[in-house]
Amino acid sequence: MSTYKIVDDAYGKSGVKLLHIKRNGPVHSIRELEVNSQLTLSSKKDYTEGDNSDIVATDSQKNTVYLLAKKHGVNSPEEFAIILCRHYLSTYNHVLKVQVQIELYPWQRAEIDGKKHNHAFVFTPVATRFCTARMEKNGIPTIESGLKDLRVLKTTQSAFVNFVNDDYRSLPDAPDRVFSTVITSRWEYSTINVDFCKAWNTVKDVILSVFSGPADKGIFSPSVQNTLHLTEKLVLDSVPEINYIEMILPNKHYVNVDLSKFKNVGFAHNDTVLQPLDKPSGNIRAALTRTLASKL
């Protein structure tokens, strides 16, 4: 007869959306979040016996998100995720493990005639910020943060040459090409004593500066791989509380259009016309971690 063991289980509510408004006199600040909480219980009788007596309903988890936002406010998404983890573990003896994922909507304070507005905001999707907090009974929370959908493009200072030249190659060397990608990155903190908003902005700024270089001259990239690695190195150098970072860079191709057949159409300018390709894209990924000696 076969015997079985449940090896991985968690349940919760995903897509709990909330807008938190903090009023400081006439100056209002907002956080719009989407929260996903997942609990793992000590007993599996809900799965095996159909006994619901230990289940903190996913509907109650939704209520908890709203109630704790009202009670504690929402500072950074990371801090709010930790508040939720601690709440479940301290309120329910039989909750063994909690994972809270939060996505932050990219609202920015509006600027009117160069002045920051008291209570108007603009949706500015430069990049989406997200985080995950994980905590076990009697443990300490671990935090990972990240960004996604950061789409960038530069028109020069990128090359791709000297790669494998064999019967399968058709791509010519490209000493000067367009470099465009949609950046996803996630990183792990070695501590929760971090200014999470400052750290997130530092990572975003490092990513943009290694990709772009100085405003007038730019910075040369010999490959997506090398730019990815230099970015991760500078992130670990810039934020000591981060001990691991991973980046995924799809290489969004912009290909030449062959206009050589159109001999009778004159071109007054030496402009470039390229065709953006949706698919396929390259897909370059790597993670960088501190070696033991350099950990905090």
Q: Closest CB to ligand URC among 160 and 211?
A: 160
Report residue 148 as tokens: 């996604």
Distances (CA, A) of 121 to 22, 31, 68: 13, 11, 24
Q: How far is CA 236 from the centre of its chain?
A: 16
Site of interaction with ligand URC (CB under 6 A): 160, 171, 223-225, 251, 282
| DSSP 8-class letter at 212 | H
d(CA 269, CA 272): 9
Q: Closest CB to ligand URC among 96 and 207?
A: 207
What residues are designated binding site for 5-hydroxyisourate? 224-225, 251
CA atoms within 13 A on the CB side of 204: 18
Q: Which of the following is catalytic: 137, 148, 154, 253?
A: 253
CA angle 214, 217, 218 (to 5 degrees): 60
Q: Closest CB to ligand URC among 209 and 226?
A: 226
3-class secondary structure, 103: strand
- Residue 32 C-beta: closest distance to ligand URC, Å: 36
**58 is an active site residue:** yes
Q: How far is CA 67 from the centre of its chain?
A: 26
First to last CA, the chain: 51
- Residue 151 C-beta: closest distance to ligand URC, Å: 17
Q: Closest CB to ligand URC among 157 and 225?
A: 225
Nearest to 239 by CA among 286, 187, 291, 183: 187
**253 is an active site residue:** yes
- Residue 281 C-beta: closest distance to ligand URC, Å: 10
CA-CA-CA-CA dihedral for 70, 143, 199, 242, to nearest 10: 170
**184 is an active site residue:** no
Q: Closest CB to ligand URC among 29 and 157?
A: 157
Q: Which of the following is catalytic: 58, 128, 155, 202?
A: 58
CB atoms within 10 A of CB 8: 5
Active-site annotation, residues:
13, 58, 253
